[in-house]
Amino acid sequence: MTKSGNTILITGGGSGIGRALAEAFARAGNTVIITGRDVKKLQSVVDANAGIRSAALDVTDPSSIETFARTVVQEFPGLNVVINNAGIMQIEDVTAAPANLSAAEATVATNILGPMRLTSALLPHLQKQPDATVAFVTSGLAFVPMAATPTYSASKSAMHAYAVALRHQLRGTSVKVMEIIPPYVQTELMGPQQAADPHAMPLADYIAETMSIIQGNPDVEEVVVERCKPLRYAVKNGNFDQIFKILNP
C-alpha cells in the first residue's frame, strides 16, 4: 500500500492499536474510517482527529456486516484498504469445561468470523480498485501461544493461516494481503493494568516502528517489529520450547 492517498477502513478503531493506527494513517495523508461497537469511543477519536470518520459496526453480527459493507462502499467509493483489527482477549480455564465455552465462542466470533465475513463482503469492491490491501492484525501469540489465553492464541494462528492462503488466492490481482503482528503492547486489551505494564511495549513506540516498516516497504507481507521477532521466528530459530517456557512460567 502507498504511504498516502488511501481510503482506509479500520475495525476496532476506538481504542488501542486500532485508534493509534487510525491516527497515524490520517497524519500520513489518508482518509480513515474507524468502526466499533462503542459509539462514544469512536466519536471521541473523530472529535480529536480531523479527517477521521466513524461508523458503528458489530463484527459478530453477519447481517450488520452485510449492511455496513454496502453502505461504506457507497459513501467511500475510493475505499482500497481494510485493516481487520477488532478483537477480544480473555483468560480461560480449560479445566472448567464445558462451562468455559462462552468465552471461546465469543473470541472465535470476533477474532475469526468477524474479519473473514468483513473481508468477504468487501473483497468484490477491493478487487475493482487499481491498488488495494487487506490487512489482519494478528499477534506474536499466533506463533508461541500463551496458555492462559488459548482461544485468543488459536484465533490469531487461524488468521495467520487465513492471510497466507488469501494472499496466495489473490496473487495476480490488485489486492495485496498484509499481516500486522504485534508483540505485547501497552493497550487496554486485557484491562487498565496492561496499559501501564512496564513489560509491554509502549504503544507510541510500537506504532512508530510499524508505520516505518509499512512506509519503507509498501509491499511488505508481514509487519514484525523487533520486539516481536523472538515470538514470530521461534520455530525457525529452533528455540520454541525456550520461548514458550518464558511466556508460560
Consecutive H or E run containing 179: strand 175-181
CA distance 210 to 216: 10
Q: Which helix (H) or strand (E) holds 24?
A: helix 16-27
CA distance 21 to 116: 20
Q: Is residue 152 among the annotated active site residues?
A: yes
3-state secondary structure at position 208: helix
Alpha-carbon gap, residue 139 to 247, rounded angstroms: 14
Going by C-alpha positions, the residue among 228, 222, 127 that lies closest to residue 178 is 222
Catalytic annotation, pick one of 152, 162, 184, 206: 152
Q: Cell 500463551 appears where? A: 146
Cell of residue 206, nine digits: 510500537
Grid cell of 205 as nine digits:
513506540
* Virtual torsion, Cα 41, 21, 198, 200, nearest 10 deg: 110
What positions carry a catalytic annotation?
Answer: 152
